Amino acid sequence: MTRGDAQTYKIALVGNPNSGKSTIFNQLTGLRQKTGNFPGVTVDIKSGKIRFAGGIEAILTDLPGTYSLYPTSSDEKIVAALLTHPAHANFPDGIVYIADTNHLEKHLLLLTQIMDLGIPILLALNMSDTAAELGIKVNIIRLSERLGVPVVFVSGRTGENIDRLQAELEKMMLGTQAIHKTAAFYTPTEAEKQLVEAVQLNLGTENPYRALLIAHHYQWLPFLQHSERETLAAIVETKHFQSLRAQVDETLDRFDRFTPFVQESVQEAPTFPNTTTDRLDALLTHRIGGPLIFFAVMLLMFQAIFDWSVYPMDWIETGFSWLNDGLKAALPAGWFSDLFTDGILAGLSGILIFIPQIAILFLLITILEEVGYMSRVVFMFDKTMRRAGMNGRSVISLIGGGACAVPAIMSSRTIGNWQERLITIMVTPFISCSARIPVYLVLIGLAVPAVKIGGLINAQTLVFASMYALGVIAAFASGWAMKKWLRTREPSFLAIELPEYRMPDWKNVALTVWEKVAAFVWGAGKIILFVSIALWGLSRFGPGNAVETAENTAREKAQTTQLSTSETEDLIAHHRLEASYAGQMGKFIEPAIRPLGYDWKIGIALLTSFAAREVFTGTLAVLYNMGSAEPDISSRTDNQAKVTMRAKMREETFSDNGKPVYTLATALSLLVFYALALQCMSTIAVVKRETGSWKWALFQFTFMSALAYVVAWLVYLLFS
Amino acid sequence: MLRRYKTVPDLKAHESAAAISFVDPALACKLTAMGVRPGAVIEMIRKAPFGKAYYIKVDGIRLALREEEAFSILLEI
């Protein structure tokens, strides 16, 4: 028990879902936490430092909630894979096990499994808000004696007894725990014993229960070598080991053993009267009322996103244009200043302008999850989602996709069935994310008249809502098609717990929103910044002295036609751009996009948008020589810059036939293209990470781009 | 032929019955880990709005099960 020095002591927080783990994690670590890389797993695992009185520090890791070491989803597999792999860099020296006092019996299964792995463990009984209401009383001394582990009461909500938990932790770290049971909790059957011995002999696994788990999970445990996997397969084969049956038998045996301990220790068993949760669920999961309330909640959510974000977005853009003007005036003219203002600053504002909407969307989604409403949505819409080849749990990903596909795709990890999870990952980017909003706004403002249809609905609002509807339809239709195409046979579960409704833990909400927004700013932000700088360079420079030649030609032309100064400037800018690298690229792809009604300038915007679609408006701003005007586009305040940009876009004509570029048909075709195409490097990267190969990421990219092209083409034909 | 058991979808709202066993081993593994064991009393709360899923209560724990999952739990009559 004297492993390592206290400086590097690693503690893992383990428990069932809904045990209140994350609140206790926050209580223990405060704000000293980060979401870090965990070698070998593709999951964001939070870790934080705990400081003890004597200046000793430990690293606490919050593992995903799981019911057992026999996992059914990839989230749960992480826990089993880590705890069966002592050589892992994050293998814990000790475990704090969190159990819900109200449902003690159910929460102890995993505890006894971990005890059998021989990892020092400490049981923390979390008192929920309703524990007192339910009238439960537990004799923790008795429970501790019977189970053979130290037990403490804590309250994640109020922080009560956190100091006592810390004191016990310190004892665990120093190896001075009063109680430490060494005998195994579960006695394997004769068949299991033989199996365990064979595994121990071949793999050198010391702990018998670890050997048993490896035999159960040899097909997917990531740390096993190919040869080890073959050996294990042979062992399982010759011993006629029936994994599933053995798992159930072991689980029931464990329950039979610890149930008496719980009964002895629980002095007053909880009664479960009709609580607030039951009354709320009678309404919220009602046959008719449930879905109606859900749609009302969604409507309010998107309403809030638009209404609340107007002001902070205005502040950000005002701040940036002020900064930009100031810098332009202060800095000496030259390419360096241009790079700083039109490249870097324009890029930065393109990132920051999204923060209000993303933060509000994440705030509302996190609150819905924290209060326990999301699992009700899963229950209500499981059937609907299954029609499209998904799982009820996919609802959470699809709703999250309205903010940003990257975290939404990561939240699909709770789906156990691979096919359902894969389809969820494939279709989530169809849901219109917050990055599409500015593109929609500028194009709709340009081409759709603000007239009331039938005196009721604004045509612009209607088109905007249609874009969201289009995304949802595309998601469900392609999910349905993929289901027909894949057809694998693998067990698929709903079986989900519907936790008690509770007030959100505001600290947790704030931390989650902060993390998600920070992840967006750093992840997508780097790309946007890089693209805007590259774009600035590509549109400013050209092969040889082509740009200079173009400028001279434009000057001569301006002189012969006697243009005004500002008209001359525009003509020069246009000619320079056409001669630049960006212009050449746009011209190169123009034949391919001409059927959709796009010219070479839109072509450049399309190309750059494949890095991140939020680059679109920024690109157009650069292309139409608007400099810092870009952030103004996404605003609703009709200021000068937006009007100028739209005016310039309206004047655009095709170079060969002189017809205007931005007709209704082109704008609608572009809208549809942006709604359906996968133009986001971050999404491609996260899909590769989550599916484990480039295959699905490339498939998704190709499929979505092809669909976007075809539908945009049809829309153009229909409206032109 | 007279059945000696019924399954969860047979329960009316707020009717309860004790579980005997599970038909599907994979699901049995999942449900036992979640605390639904043979002998546990299962109470039907309601059907999902669009059907095909059930809201049940087991020892104070609320669970949502799909129709197939609900059919695979055999209950005492």
Query: A343-371 pLDDT, tens per residue?
Result: 777 777 767 777 887 788 788 888 998 89
**B34 contacts chain A (CB < 8 A):** yes
CA angle A17, A20, A23 (to 5 degrees): 130
CB nearest to B49's CB, from A277, A291, A386: A291
Q: How far is A59 from chain B (nearest CA, A)?
A: 29
Res A270 pLDDT > 80? no
Residues of chain B with pLDDT under 70: 1-3
Burial of A202 (0-12, 13-18, 19+ CB in 10 A): middle
Of the candidates A401, A398, A403, the one whose C-alpha atom is nearest the C-alpha of residue A362 is: A403
Best to test chain B binding among A104, A105, A216, A248 (most B CBs inside 10 Å): A248
pLDDT tops 60 at residue A635: no
Q: How many structural domains compose chain B?
A: 1
pLDDT band at A54 (very low <50, low <70, confident <90, very high): confident
Structure tokens at A192: 């299991």
Whether the per-residue pLDDT at A686 is higher than 90: the answer is no
> In A584-698, where do the E strands start and end?
none
Nearest by CB to residue B32, choosing from A248, A291, A496, is A248
Average pLDDT along chain A: 84
Q: State whether B51 and A383 contact (CB < 8 Å).
A: yes
User: Do the Cβ atoms of A285 and B49 come within 8 Å?
Assistant: yes
Mutate to test the interface with B, among A66, A67, A76, A106 (most CBs of B within 10 A): A106
User: Who among B25, B51, B55 is closest to A285 (CB)?
Assistant: B55
Size of interface A-B (CB pairs under 8 A): 122
Contacts with B15 (C-beta within 8 Å, 6 or more apart), sequence order = B43, B44
pLDDT in tens, A370-412: 899 999 999 999 999 999 999 998 998 898 888 788 878 888 8
Which of B21, B61, B65, B69 to probe the A interface (max A CBs under 10 A)?
A: B61
Respond yes or no on whether ipTM tops 0.90. yes
Mean pLDDT of A303-326: 82
The answer to whether the beta carbons of residues A719 and A665 sit under 8 Å apart is yes
Task: Determine the residue of chain A that is closest to B23 in CA distance.
Answer: A245
User: What pTM was computed for the model?
Assistant: 0.83
pLDDT at A645: 63
Place A14 in a pLDDT band, splitting at 50, 70 and 90.
very high
Distance of alpha carbon A64 from alpha carbon A509, whole angstroms: 17
Please tell me the least confidently modeled range out of A243-247, A266-270, A662-666.
A266-270
Q: Residue A526's pLDDT is what?
A: 75
User: Residue B44's domain spans which residues?
Assistant: 6-75
- Does the distance separating the beta carbons of B29 and A70 come in below 8 Å? yes
What CATH number was assigned to the domain covering residues A6-174?
3.40.50.300
* Whether B32 and A272 lie within 8 Å, measured CB to CB: no
Q: Which of A109, A290, A494 sits opposite B33 (nearest CB)?
A: A109
Q: Residue B1 domain-assigned?
A: no
Query: Are A380 and B27 within 8 A, CB to CB?
Result: no
**Do residues A34 and A47 make contact, with C-beta atoms less than 8 angstroms apart?**
yes
Cβ–Cβ gap A67/B53 under 8 Å: no
To test the contact with chain A by mutation, choose from B22, B66, B68 the residue with the greatest count of A C-beta atoms within 10 A, namely B66
Helix, strand, coil tally for chain B in percent (to 5)? 20, 40, 40
A248:B60 CB<8 A: no
pLDDT confidence of residue A123: 95
Question: A392 vs B25: CB contact, 8 Å cut-off?
Answer: no
CATH number of the domain where residue B10 is located: 2.30.30.90
Residue A601's pLDDT band (cuts 50, 70, 90): confident
The predicted model gives A302-308 an average pLDDT of 76
* Chain A residues within 8 A of B53 when measuring between CB atoms: 379-380, 382-383, 392, 494
The Cα of B33 is separated from the nearest Cα of chain A by a number of Å equal to: 6
Question: What residue spans define the domains of chain A?
Answer: 6-174, 190-268, 522-719
Task: Please say if the pLDDT value at position A289 is more than 60.
Answer: yes
Distance, CA of A69 to CA of A72 (rounded, Å)? 9
The pLDDT, as a whole number, for residue A2 is 42
Write out pLDDT tens, residues A324-344.
Answer: 888 888 888 777 787 877 777
B3 CB within 8 Å of a chain A CB: no
Average pLDDT in the A678-682 region? 84
Please check whether residue B35 lies inside any domain of the structure: yes
Rg of chain A on CA atoms, in Å: 30
Mean pLDDT of A242-253: 93
pLDDT given at position A6? 43
Name all contacts of A284-292 with Cβ < 8 Å and 24+ positions apart.
A284/A373, A284/A376, A285/A376, A285/A379, A285/A380, A285/B46, A285/B48, A285/B49, A285/B55, A286/B46, A286/B49, A287/B46, A287/B47, A287/B49, A288/B49, A290/A376, A290/A380, A290/B49, A291/A380, A291/B49, A291/B50
pLDDT band at residue A128 using 50, 70 and 90 as cut-offs: low
Contact: B55, A281; criterion CB under 8 Å: yes
Q: How does residue A296 score in pLDDT terms, banded at 50, 70 and 90?
A: very high
Chain A residues within an 8 Å CB radius of B32: 248, 251-252, 255
Number of H helices, E strands in chain A: 31, 12
- Tokens standing for residue B60: 């104070």
What pLDDT, on the 0 to 100 scale, is given for residue A628? 34
Question: In the prediction, which pLDDT does A376 show?
Answer: 95
> Which residues of chain A neighbour B65 with C-beta distances below 8 Å?
494-495
Give mean pLDDT, residues A504-524.
Answer: 81
B13: contact with A, CB 8 A cutoff:
no
Least confident among A328-342, A458-472, A700-714 = A328-342
DSSP state of A153: E
Taking residues A613-641, report their average pLDDT.
54
Instruction: Inform me whether the C-beta atom of residue B2 falls under 8 Å from chain A C-beta atoms.
Output: no
Burial class (CB in 10 A: 0-12, 13-18, 19+), A4: exposed
Residue B64 lies in a domain: yes
Share of chain A above pLDDT 70, in %: 89
Residue A38 has a pLDDT of 52
Q: Which of A32-41, A74-83, A634-643 has the lowest mean pLDDT?
A: A634-643
Report the pLDDT value the prediction gives residue A542, as an integer from 0 to 100.
Answer: 87
Contact state of B27 with A495 under an 8 Å Cβ cutoff: yes
Would you call B23 an interface residue with chain A, using a CB distance cutoff of 8 Å? no
> pLDDT, tens digit, for every residue of A540-573?
888 888 888 888 888 888 888 877 777 777 778 7
Q: Are A373 and A294 in contact (CB under 8 A)?
A: no
Q: How far is B69 from chain A (nearest CA, A)?
A: 7
Q: What is the pLDDT, as a whole number, of residue A192?
A: 94
Is B21 touching A (CB cutoff 8 A)? no
Give the up-direction half-sphere exposure of residue B74: CA atoms within 13 A in the CB hemisphere.
9
Q: Which residue of A has its CA nearest to B13?
A: A282
Tell me the Ramachandran region of residue A453: left when phi exceeds 0, alpha when psi lies from -120 to 50, beta otherwise. Answer: beta
Q: What is the pLDDT of residue A641?
A: 52
CA-CA distances (angstroms) from residue A149 to A83, A105, B6?
Answer: 18, 15, 41
For the record, the structure tokens of A234 come out as 């042979």
pLDDT of A700 over the 80 cut:
yes
pLDDT of residue A180: 60
Q: How confident is the model at residue A117 (pLDDT cuts 50, 70, 90)?
A: very high
Give the model's confidence band at A633: pLDDT under 50 very low, under 70 low, under 90 confident, else very high.
very low
